[in-house]
Structure formats: structure tokens, C-alpha cells
Amino acid sequence: MEQKLIAKGGTADIYDLGNGTIFKCFHDDKNDYCIESEIQCTSSKVAIALGAPQILERVNDERGRGFIMENIRGQTMLEKMFVQGADFDIKENAQIMAQLQYKISKFEGKDFPSGHDVMKERILQSSFLDDAEKNHVLKILDSLPQGTSVCHSDLHPANIIITESGEYRVIDWCDTMCDSPLLDVARTLLIYKSVAPMPGTNLEDLNKSRGAWYYFYKSAWENLAGTSENELNKWLAVLAAVKLAESDSADHQWMKELMKN
């Protein structure tokens, strides 16, 4: 099988197989449960409805460990923004992203892990928080109502592909959960507040647009679903605590402040 490396990530590398498919090859430190979980999430009813790539084959041999899936032809929303430059309409695309997130939230999430349980486990395991900080954030988490909606948990412009026919398809369903839609919204807002670049971008270009993405996305979500500002702020505090472990060190100070809620 001829493989051309087209992307490197924190959990896996992506190879173009040249026949309309790609191979997601997971790193050695990722166990089989991680792979099977992503296959199940990507093959779920909600993921299929939002255009997730079709999983074609599970791989566990000399080629590596992972799976072969459909190669969606197009550009991510983020790539399109940098290609079009000033002609790219951030407001329109932020509204589309909010609409996609709203559509996701309308699916029942009972088949996915509880967001509360996942957040609690990650907070307790964090090496970036002391015991007092962990207890503070866990109290905030315990005060939040548990929802039953699907949460993509990583929706941002680099995870939305605009196909050659103009279709919007949501990818990267590896961390799907079940909880309040505001968990999902808070996660997306934190990505916009971060100073670290998204994959395939440079920091200077991205920082020019982050504020606009944040404002237009949040406004669009509020128009669609309404928002309890108090509840959203609590989710932001919880997600900031969790995100410390995966964030650029330059983000840590403002995230620590956000955690104080």
C-alpha cells in the first residue's frame, strides 16, 4: 500500500492512499480502546448526519494501527479563510458553525460517555492543578446540570470541511460526549480565546481573526438557543481547568484566572 503522509497530529498521522481514501495511523502510545472509540463515534448516527467520513476498514497489521476512511475532498473552513483572505466572511461562517453545533445538540447523546464524568476524571488526573484548585473546579462542575445532548467537544474551523460542491462536513469525532450543549459551546469559545495557533496556521494571522470568530459565533449561538451566561461561565471555568494540560504555556495565566469563576 503506497502511503503519502499529509498530516501529523497529537494522536495519529494521516496518509493519503491515492484512491479516494486516507489511512489514520495511530501513534504507539494510543491503545486499541482509543481507536475503537473513535470508530464508534465517527460511525454514529449524529456523525453521519453531520457528514463525518465513512470508515471503510480497521487496520491492525504491519501497516500500523488505525483505520482507512473516505477522503473528503475540499478545504477546511480555516484553510478557506487563509486562502480567501479579506474576501472570507467570518460572520457568515461563524453563523454556519453555530448552526452545525445547534444541529449536533439536537441529537440524544445517551450512547456516549457522560461529559461530567469525563471532565471529573481529567481534572483529577491533571498535573497542572493543585488539590485546592481541583476541589474548586469540581464544585463548579457538580453545580452544573447534566444534559443529554451530543457534544462534539472539538468543533472549530479546522474540523469543518467545505466540499467542492459547497457541503459542510464535520470531522474529528474522537472525543464525543453526552451533556449540556454549553459544554460544547464553552470548548469552542476557549479555542478562540487561546493564543496558540490551530494546525496549519501561524499565530499572527490567526490572532487577527480570533476576536471576530468569538463574537460572531457566540452571538449566533445565543440567537439560536439562548444562553444562561452564568452556566456558560461555569462551563468555561471547567473547560479551562481541563484544557490546561493540552494548551500552550502562554495560555495558562488567563485560563487560571478563568477557573476562579
Kindly state the average pLDDT of the residues 165-177. Answer: 95
Q: What is the pLDDT of residues 2-49, one digit of tens each?
A: 689 988 888 899 999 988 999 999 999 999 999 999 999 999 999 999
Under a CB-based contact definition with an 8 Å cutoff, are residues 116 and 80 in contact?
no
What is the predicted pLDDT for the residue at 253? 83
What gap in Å lies between CA 240 and CA 227, rounded to an integer?
Answer: 19
Under a CB-based contact definition with an 8 Å cutoff, are residues 130 and 190 in contact?
no
What is the predicted pLDDT for the residue at 202? 55
Write the CB contacts of 40 (distance below 8 Å, at least 6 apart in sequence).
none
Q: What is the pLDDT of residues 79-119, one digit of tens each?
A: 898 888 889 999 999 999 999 999 999 999 999 999 999 99
Q: What is the pLDDT of residues 189-229, one digit of tens each?
A: 998 887 665 555 555 666 668 889 999 999 999 999 988 89
